[in-house]
Structure 1
């Protein structure tokens, strides 16, 4: 696949150094690392290899990827590896897509408390689904789910929400039968929304009492217990956005959906239109509009574009794909085996036990010659050029 006309890396390379200098002390270490990774991705700075075509002897240089999870160019292969690992987890039942969204006031606090509040969003969303599903008035079953965190809106604004992929049913409390939900209907959204709001605010208040939340700028006064309680009161009355989409058209559609959502970043290179004296222009989707008028273009200054992009850098080590209930990592294999047994479905073939020789023989070549389409092989590798670091200055030195 050829290089796109404009990439996020081009914007960071052209405007990143000057903006980084102007923002000294304002950017976190994680944000600086993401900027550096994107700027260096697939450039000589990271090294690479020389490829040669086995058929026509055409040679070319390929530079290494940064493999940063926020880089738009490095997610396709990571998503493919993840999907291959998830294929064995699918069972022949309906799958539903559920979304839990935080209100704007809490989203503003979440930006300065990412690890704590994003983690709470995951856990409360999963608890809400499992609690309502376990209620005999609704489903009366143990369910499993995969949750994926997104922190952006289409215009790169800060908009934390989790997408849940949930099988349409679960195991009975005794684990002896499969309890399916009504066709085309998973769980009542209004009930989910009310419980999600109550449980999130309860745990949110506990975090405040434990001193685990930080407040800055216009929100600094919320460190006071009384001010925080007054600020929280309206959030107990407003509606929280939780919605469920129509069921997927079979397990294959679930995989197709996951391939688009699990390793998505704030903006893909394909949405970029132009970078000129006016700034950076990109396509976005206005969900408040209808029909074709939803699809619009927006132009931001390069500095504002980079600022919005870096809003969505996750804390180091934070997992944005998590599994709960029957799909939790600790008991997933045993639980899926039990589900297949009660559904009378043949056990999944362990991917590690497949015929590796046949699999390898069916794989396309890793590198393909752009001239003749034959396989290319690596004939030489080279390392990147690292900048020389000066020794640390003694304490007190200018």
Structure 2
């Protein structure tokens, strides 16, 4: 270290006279203090006596915002203890800097302690406000999608059928194996449990009614929609979120293309077309699983199962489930795509939005199923 640097080292000289504490600051008080800044600040406020304190800055060399902040903060710390502080001896240049720092320094906000009940109610309120905002954003996005669909209807040549076919392959074709497997297993489980319970009353054959009505009206479309929400919905959100992070969406706007028309419409149409098809496959798979289980556990031959099936269901039983599928697909598509375009630009935001899309989609699917159930009951469908 050079001798000039040693001479300019910050120094603190504390003396007592006339019932006052005199603190003389010497040397350069600048950002070169580095990690030592906290040590110097601690020495400035280690006054034990409740006597007035005078900061004498007449011996200061250079002073920047770091040094000014240390001096001002130390003075305020002492004043908070009830000690009178006076700063004197500063040059005109130092006085301007100290005054500026003092006027712009923001005191740390003391968090008010709240009870657990108040915090709990506050979190509920925030959730309600966020839910309202999400509903508003979803309606706005749905309006944009409808506008894009109308433009596509009037300008069919602008629609990208290749993208629609690609999304159909991803949503419908590649989703068939998992949908078939889950629906088959659920059909088997329902049939098995139904047989065990109905056998007590000697009404084992009515398990056919149970399987057919429950599968066609409720389970097939519900399981399919939930699986699509978890599989395709999350994929939509991740894809669009990645595009948003890499600024591909902004690039489309710069090229004069509408991202809603290019990216969103084909995906939502693929869901609207694919989900009813998958629901039909799920219904058939569930009935097949029920028929096999009925033959193994209930000694119900396949011909008896089919005969009872024809008498147990009607066309409205089948259509009651199929009609729900396009509406559920629309809800899943809108939620998944809106969450994808809402990604802020970080991996954390992407993961949070993907999770949010799946949770919201499943919740809305179950809610819509309940609304349809009440509607069908009201019209006796």
Q: Tell me which interval the TM-score lies in, with the shorter structure as reference length.
A: under 0.3
Q: Which is higher, the Rg of structure 1 or of structure 2?
A: 2
Richer in helix (by share): 2
- The TM-score with structure 1 as length reference comes to 0.21
- The TM-score normalised by the length of structure 2 is 0.22
Higher relative contact order (CA 8 A, sep 6+): 1
